Structure 1
C-alpha cells in the first residue's frame, strides 16, 4: 500500500519529545483496513517513509483514533524541516 499526503510538522513535548505529522483521516481509514495484518503490537504499523530526498523505516503511532508519522531528527536536519512546516510525505506499508 502506497500513500502520499501533506501535513504540518508538530512537536510533542512528552517524556520522550519528538516531531510528527498526522496521517489524514481518509488515509488513516485505509490503514485501519490492513492494520490487523501488519501491526506488530500496540497498534504500531511498520512503514517506509519518504520525505524530500530521505527514506527511512519506522512505525506509525496510533493516536486519538488516527495515526502519526514520527520524523527522525537526522531527517529533519537533512531536509531542513521544522515545526509548523507543511511537508509532503510518502508511506509504504507492506501488506
Structure 2
C-alpha cells in the first residue's frame, strides 16, 4: 500500500522536556491500514513504513492515535531540518507500508 497526502506538522508534548512532531495520515488511508493489517501490529499498534517527505526518505513506523482516529507519522528533527520545516507547516508526504 502506498499513499501520498498533504498534512500539517503538529507537536505532541510527551513530557515537559520531550516533544514529538507528527503528521496525521488521512482517515481513509488509516482505515485501509487497519483493514489490511487485520490485527497484525507491532509495539504500540505500530506498522513499519517507508516515508518520503520532499527529498528525504526514511524507514520508521506509523502509530494509531485514538484521539484523532488516524495513524500518525513521526517526523524526526533531522528530516525537518533537511526539508526546512517547522510545526504548523503543511507538506506532502508519501508512506508505503512495508509489512503487508
Change (3 A) 1:84 1:30: same
2:83 maps to what in 1? 79
1:93 aligns with 2:90: no
Deviations 1:18-66 (A, max 9, x none): 1000111011111111223752233111101000000001110111221
The alignment partner of 2:38 has SS state of helix
For structure 2, the 5+ residue unaligned runs are none
TM-score after normalising by structure 1: 0.92
Once superposed, what is the RMSD of the aligned Cα atoms?
1.3
1:3-14 alignment runs, 5 A limit:
3-14=3-14
Q: State how many pairs are aligned.
A: 95
CA contact (8 A) 1:35 1:43 kept: no
* Large movers: runs of 4+ above 6 Å: none
Query: Which piece of structure 1 moves more, 37-46 or 3-12?
Result: 37-46
CA contact (8 A) 1:38 1:46 kept: no
1:47 maps to what in 2? 49
Change (3 A) 1:80 1:48: same
Deviations 1:54-89 (A, max 9, x none): 000111011122111100100000000101100100
